[in-house]
Amino acid sequence: MANLKITVSSTHLIAKRRGLRALWRSKGAIAAVEFAIIMPVFLTLFMGVVDLGMMLLQEYKLDQAVAAGAEYAAVNPSSVNSTSGASLASSIATAVESANGSAWANDVVVVNNGPTVTVTNGTSTSSGTSTNANNCYCPTGSPPNWTWGSSMTCGASCSGGGSAGKFVTITATASYTPLITIYHFISSSTLRQSATVETQ
């Protein structure tokens, strides 16, 4: 009788071990299924974060290009006139649009309501009345839609505050296309940065 109990007990123990092994195997299978469900969600979120980071980097580069153009205008105040204005506008426009590679950005540079250079897809066009660059203005509005108004005496008070002077305006745009468009975390968009520099 005692021997029979030991045999039953051993059989019961073996069955338990087999059950534990089967349970271990099934947990591995469950983990694989969970991984298969979670991984696409994780990858989708990861690609969204990468796209956002790339867009912010592009915007930062555009901001730096406009800042470099603004600094160039600030250190060349003597060029804001009817004689050198066109050359100044061209130099600034070239510096901005090629700051991160040829035809990287489109931009518009206006030297004191006069000489204007517009760069679109690497093609530059000039316009504007060069003699306006000799005058002083009180520009109003917000970028990129500035209103120059009438010419004024240099140093005269502007109605919105400040004094009439000579200005260079810079507006630059760059297109951003997301890495993976199907997720629509970040849509294709045009990034824009602007600056107004008072040179006198």
Query: Does residue 127 or residue 10 have the better pLDDT?
Result: 127
Does residue 139 have a cis bond before it (omega within 30 degrees)?
A: no
Q: What is the mean pLDDT of residues 180-188?
A: 66
- pLDDT tens profile 53-70: 888 898 999 999 999 999
pTM of the model: 0.75
Is pLDDT above 60 for 6?
A: no
Query: Residue 14: pLDDT above 70?
Result: no
The answer to whether 109 touches 117, Cβ cutoff 8 Å, is yes
Domain boundaries, the chain: 44-198
Which tens digit of pLDDT belongs to each residue from 67-116? 999 999 999 999 999 999 999 999 999 989 888 877 788 999 999 999 99
Residues 38 and 147: their CA atoms lie apart, in Å, by: 54
Cα–Cα distance, 86 to 43 (Å, whole number)? 50
Q: Closest by alpha carbon to 170, among 73, 60, 99?
A: 73
Q: Is the pLDDT of residue 124 over 50?
A: yes
Angle between helices 85-97 and 2-74 (to 10 degrees): 170
Query: What is the edge-to-edge ordering of all strands in the sheet holding 106-111?
Result: 123-127, 116-120, 106-111, 167-176, 189-198
Q: If we measure between CA atoms, which residue out of 197, 198, 179 comes closest to residue 188?
A: 179
Residue 119: band (very low, low, confident or very high) from pLDDT cuts 50, 70, 90? very high
- Within 10 A of 14 (CB to CB), how many other CB atoms are there? 10
**Tokens coding 58:** 């592009």
Cβ pair 71, 129 in contact under 8 A: no
On the question of pLDDT at 1 being above 50, the answer is no
Does residue 51 carry a pLDDT above 50?
yes
Helix (H) or strand (E) holding 141: strand 140-142
